[in-house]
A and B are shown apart, each in its own frame.
Chain A
Amino acid sequence: MSKYLDKSIIELNELLKTKKITPLDLVEEAFTKIEQEKELNAFITLNKEEALKEAKELENLEVDNLLFGIPIAIKDNILTKDLRTTCASHMLENFIPIYDATVIEKIKEKHMIIIGKTNMDEFAMGSSSRTSYFGAPHNPWNKEKISGGSSGGSAVAISARLLPLALGSDTGGSIRQPASYCGIVGMKPTYGRISRYGVVAFASSLDQVGPMTRNVYENALLLNSLVGRDEKDLTSSKKEPEDFTRKIGQDICKMKIAIPNYFMSDIVTEEIRDKIKEVIQLLEQKGAIVDYVDIAYLENAVTLYQIIAMGEASSNLARFDGIRYGHSKENPKDIDDVYYGSREEGFGEEVKRRIMVGSYILSGDNAKKYYDKALSIRSDIRTSFLKTFEEYDLIIGPTTTTTAYDLTEPTDPVKTFFDDVLVIPVNMAGLPGLNIPVAFSKEQMPIGLHIIGKPFDESTIYQLASFIEKELNLNLNPKGSDEDE
């Protein structure tokens, strides 16, 4: 069935350059696959007409970079001009942005072709994509299972090989956790690496966009095209762009790797711990030095995250008031009815819950008691990570405590946060972190390794990840081998 899209980006680039295929071939194949796998519910909005038009236009242009003409999926909280952006919410069900996010401008500069907007938890609030107004996406490894979230749609699209590239966003694990559940590579870069301008804010001090791909090299390649200082985002870093693929293929002998004891404690299933231990053994065999360490405050990260993320979210989502854009209650009685009515109707349960908790957290003396305190312990978490990095190049552990669970499993709003207990500390410390699939459970569900790097040291993460990828050589196509078609 698959003609080209299972091939690597390098192969596709060669075919495009030699005019053996055109971008239109890739775009048409992507839409065919999406149609065939419709029940995965990976997309909220398809950009069919525009994508086909763009693909045709590209035929007249020189293939000037590796990502030229490659189909890409965009998480639906990243603003795309003239293409509906819903945040998976009734509130923005009919919202057509009038500008492109900075990352979208960059993607268009490289002539990648935007295929559509992917499903997610409403306003990125959730960890199974089940809070989506448009229904949950399904895990391609087992359609009864969750995709994870909040970037569930992007993870599903890549895992099911609907297309090779996707963008996600990660506030408290929302790229890495679904990447782990779906068996793909997902990177949350260092806070500030990628501009947040045009990304609908959930928790401003934590949000970060990142690449989601089938393999490590393509992940680094996509990251290359996304980074750089943006004068429109004061929190974006002034670091010069660099080639994140440059350490790929380098030896990992003498690399110093730390594993926090907490990450391998009984909060993680035994099955996952065993698989991670196998990876550790492999690394040691190959000459890496792996030590178990203690990192202070890791166990507090989820609580701190709840305070900071919900506090900021309650303020960020205040702008959805039914006045200038988004859902607005019909025939309101007065201004209060516009506010209460539009927000009551427009937001889903989880979003409302978080706005309420967040408002409470910032109320009166609570701001000092909770929010300020959380900020201060958060900086302690960062400090304790940085201390570990004085001696180690990388920190690793499992990405998730379990594999993807059943879609029918009841949602417990508090327990949900603990799906992200291993990934949240990385957001709190503003560090880069990546998921790479390293094994499968007895149920044939993917298990991921979490690799955490020093601030702005994404390239060393890619070095280790690609080494492991090559050593393990897993088949990550849920339908069989990529080459088998």
Chain B
Amino acid sequence: MSNYIPTIGIEVHVELKTNSKIFSSSKNGYGMGANTLTNVIDLGYPGTLPTVNEEVINIAIKAATVLHCKIRKMMHFDRKNYFYPDNSKNYQITQSRTPIGYDGYIEIELNGTKKMIEIEEIHIEEDTCKSAHRKNITLLDFNRAGVPLIEIVTKPCIASAEEAKLYIEKLRETLLYANISDCKIEEGSMRCDANVSLRKEESDPYGTKVEIKNIGSISNVKLSIEKEIIRQQKLYENHETFQEQTRRFDSKLNDTVLMRIKETGNDYRYFPEPDIPYLYLTDEQIEEVQKTIPILPDERRKLYEERKMSKVNIEKLIAHPELSDFLNQYLETSIDFQIASNLLLGDISSYLNKENKLLKETKLTKEKFTEIVEKTSNRTLTSKNIKELLTDILEKDQTISELIKEKNISNITDDHILKEIIQQVLENNPESVKDYLDGHDRALKYLMGQIMKETKGSADPLLATTILKEELSLKK
């Protein structure tokens, strides 16, 4: 593998989260009855004309911004002409000559080294309808026809399958965070195509290009590119030539499979869409949209690192935008982010998973969370207390203090009380005391267990350990 250099470029289509379609007022939805979200425009009825959904333009501005693209202020749409049953007008309205965004990048980190993946362009277009093949007929569902898409095209600057995977992951995370798309690869709201070619030297022209279409998952992005590189390399080593072609990844065969040979010079007869006048974006509109962009993952990573959160927690939190957003309310406060993230990723996450709820659907307020983080930091509440209280905290309106009172939780943080209990435990367990003094550390654990049993778990473990050791040393 070492003697060939792969060149990879990636095209990603994502469906935008809008209320209505891009060129008609039909609802943009998923999983509805076939052809229920359609109108005469989506069906390409004679005489119909497209209108432009402003929401789509705004989301595309957002996408261009988060991918560090330049934004084109004067643009138009183009028609891409081709006959296919999923294409109701037999042309697709897209942007060929004036993509809304261009010259952007995404930063990935590979083995500790940062690399820019350059983005050639982002353009806006309409989705096609969905076809389902049944024996010798094809069924068409136009619910998807006219759903807004943006296509994000990289330059051929990706050097390995691993880089490709990291790029897709980073892209997905960014688009999710900016609320551009739900990026569900399984539902088709994010679709990846990879162009792969090999050459011997950097100075050689690019090799014959193979497109892997519609890769079904992020892990398959890596796998399919790896397999395709191996396949092409073997061909070159055997001095076999091949034509430009489109392949797909078959996860059962664990390899790419030929779909079709590319015909020379695909002729889409592009021309400017005469039904839609030029669009002019103003600086105000662009700024207005940019104001709505939330803090992006990389910025969050930096902020959390500064607040001494563990790497594990940072990544887990980034993977849960809602929790991360919740925590960001405290960026201006001095709460302990490590403890706060532990609480969010631990007991609170388990509760949410179990109840299948979103955080915003619980009764957790900013104030209540501050209180539990603080009480955990100063050990007023133990993790056991939290477990006991959490359901009520998340389901009831009462304050934390009220709940503590109601649950009758009185933590033994008082040295004297704890000391008395510990002395009692030692008296009751002379064998273990002897074991400990003989050098068997195991005995310490047993004694701690007895203390917890005695206090019904309400003893602060750190404090209890300290006192226990003190008391034991007195017995030497």
Contact = CB atoms under 8 A, between A and B. Distances in A.
Interface of A: 78-79, 85, 87, 92, 95, 97-99, 101, 196-201, 203-205, 231-235, 311-312, 314-315, 318-321, 323-325, 335, 339, 359, 362-364, 367, 371, 375
B72 to A, nearest CB: 18
Contacts of A324: 43-45, 88
Contacts of A196: 49
A325 B91 CA distance: 17
Nearest to B50: A234
B89 interface: yes
A364 B270 CA distance: 8
Nearest to A360: B269
B254 interface: no
A306 to B, nearest CB: 15
Taking residues whose C-beta sits less than 8 angstroms from the other chain, chain B's interface range is 20 to 34
A200 B277 contact: no
Contacts of B90: 318-319, 321
Given A318-B83, A318-B91, A321-B90, A364 B51 contact: no
Interface of B: 40, 43-52, 79, 81, 83, 85, 88-91, 138, 140, 265, 267, 269-272, 274-277
Nearest to A339: B83
Most chain A CB neighbours (cut-off 10 Å) among B48, B52, B89, B277: B48
A169 to B, nearest CB: 11
A285 B342 CA distance: 96
Contacts of A312: 271, 274
B267 A198 contact: no
Contacts of B277: 234-235
B188 to A, nearest CB: 22
DSSP majority for the B interface?
A: loop
Contacts of B50: 234
B90 to A, nearest CB: 4
Contacts of B88: 319, 324
A359 B40 contact: no
A97 B138 CA distance: 25
Contact of B40 (A98, A311, A371): A98
A325 B45 contact: yes
A325 B46 contact: yes
Contacts of B91: 315, 318
A359 B46 contact: no
B81 A234 contact: no
A201 B47 contact: yes
A238 to B, nearest CB: 11
B44 A319 contact: yes
30 contacts: A78-B47, A79-B46, A79-B47, A85-B46, A87-B46, A95-B46, A99-B40, A196-B49, A198-B47, A200-B46, A200-B47, A201-B46, A232-B49, A234-B51, A234-B276, A235-B276, A315-B79, A318-B81, A318-B90, A321-B83, A323-B140, A324-B43, A325-B45, A335-B138, A339-B83, A362-B269, A362-B270, A363-B269, A364-B265, A375-B272
Contact of B274 (A85, A101, A204, A232): A204
A437 B283 CA distance: 52
A180 to B, nearest CB: 27
